[in-house]
Homo-oligomer: A and B are copies of this chain.
Amino acid sequence: MKKNLIVGQSGGPTAVINCSLYGVVSEGERQENVDKVYGMVNGIEGFLKGNYLDFAAMDSKEKLLYTPGAFLGSCRYKLPEDFADPVYPEIFKKLEEMNIGYFCYIGGNDSMDTVSKLSRYASSVKSDIRFIGVPKTVDNDLVMTDHTPGFGSAARYVAQTVREITRDASVYDKEAVTIVEIMGRHAGWLTAAGMLARQQGDRNPYLIYLPEVAFDVERFIRQIQEAMKECKALVVCVSEGIRDQDGTFICEYDSEAAVDNFGHKMLTGCGKYLERLVQNRLGVKVRSVELNVSQRCSAALMSKADQKEAVEAGMFGVKAAVSGETGKMAAFSRKGSAPYEMECTLQDVNLICNQEKTVPKEWIIRDGSDVSQDFMEYALPLIQGRIDLPEDEFGLADFVRR
């Protein structure tokens, strides 16, 4: 008997979260056991308010393949721990009314928590609705998968942009430090991608700091002084999440001192703090650059490899649901790096949610100021390939909107 499929997106967007959506929708439409394909608008939170759409009515679905943001809209909504909460029967009543047999949720850590809870609740009430997670996060911090869709594109953005910034920073015949602040509050995967910016014969960006190693201000200043002996226009990559030995975020260092005109503590990024620190301590010209949301929404620098895998993860998730799986996440298993070979696998979503995968300590070298070749081997295949962005009448990327 045919059942309907519903898909949602949750958490922060990535450049390729809509590619996974495309994978889910196109595979759903292809499967004989799937009747209609619905989309929750604004995730499970919107679904609870009755917001959804029918993909049969959507034109030009292929535009999803290069549209950043979350086409369906997203939410940050945590289901209660207590299965006695009335929200659970409410959700399942709605799902049954819509004759849903397959539920795919595209997201990160918190979204996998939703999949975990719904699949466990389903089992407790003997519902046969199948719940499958499709991973996404630029942070690359999900366990039990080699990497996550979204990371490759963000890493390509970081690598190419830091390379461009390095050219820009090197034009004057003056000592100068450029500090690039990169996303990743707990895991340094994306900041590590700064190393890929290095060109043959050039070690700039010289210094790279991840949150996995305690940040020491004095060591940082020493390392900058050392590096400036070799390189006049130094480029430094720092993770937004670097913190000291006591666990205090470096970006919090200023917040005691600085109060804005509204009487509130001024929270700036660690890049801005370090900019002032280096300026004060070394008296050189310093600029900080926060790469900001473009890391997760640059279509122009999307990685083709990432785009392809994001679609595959979505398709694989649907196939798994249709074949009877539930409470699982579509994951990636690497068969080799040279040549790169990847295989989709299923992992228990209960073992994934609320865990965090950080950069291996042994990949962090030079007294916490650089990343080893292991990272390069790991990351290079994921950032390969450029996509051709179809353009609208203005000559800019022609994105799709809901």
Q: Is A323 an interface residue (CB 8 A)?
A: no
- Segment of A128-136, A256-264, A353-361 in the binding face: A256-264
Chain B residues with CB under 8 Å of A249's CB are none
Q: Is A42 an interface residue (CB 8 A)?
A: yes
Q: Is A186 an interface residue (CB 8 A)?
A: no
- Copies of this chain, complex-wide, total 2
Report the separation of the CA atoms of residues A69 and B204 in the bound assembly, to the nearest whole angstrom: 15
* A392-B200 contact given A164-B298, A289-B292, CB 8 Å threshold: yes
Q: Is A254 an interface residue (CB 8 A)?
A: yes
Q: Is A94 an interface residue (CB 8 A)?
A: no
Chain B residues with CB under 8 Å of A76's CB are 172
* A293-B257 contact given A73-B173, A264-B280, A280-B264, CB 8 Å threshold: no
Q: Is A399 an interface residue (CB 8 A)?
A: yes
Task: With CB as the reference atom, state the residue of chain B lying closest to A295.
Answer: B168
* A297-B75 contact given A259-B258, A392-B200, CB 8 Å threshold: no
How many A residues are at the interface, by size bracket?
35 or more
Chain B residues with CB under 8 Å of A289's CB are 292-294
Chain B residues with CB under 8 Å of A276's CB are 260, 262, 264, 266
Q: Is A236 an interface residue (CB 8 A)?
A: no
Q: Residue among A12, A160, A196 with the most chain B CB within 10 A?
A: A160
Chain B residues with CB under 8 Å of A297's CB are 164-165, 167-168
Q: Is A225 an interface residue (CB 8 A)?
A: no
Q: Give the top 5 A-B pairs by smallest Cβ distance, nearest first.
A: A69-B167, A168-B297, A74-B171, A70-B171, A42-B173
Q: B-contacting residues of A (Cβ < 8 Å)?
A: 9, 12-13, 41-42, 45-46, 67-70, 73-76, 156, 159-161, 163-165, 167-173, 196-197, 199-202, 253-254, 256-262, 264, 266, 268, 272-273, 276-277, 280, 287, 289-290, 292-294, 296-301, 380, 383-386, 389, 391-399, 401
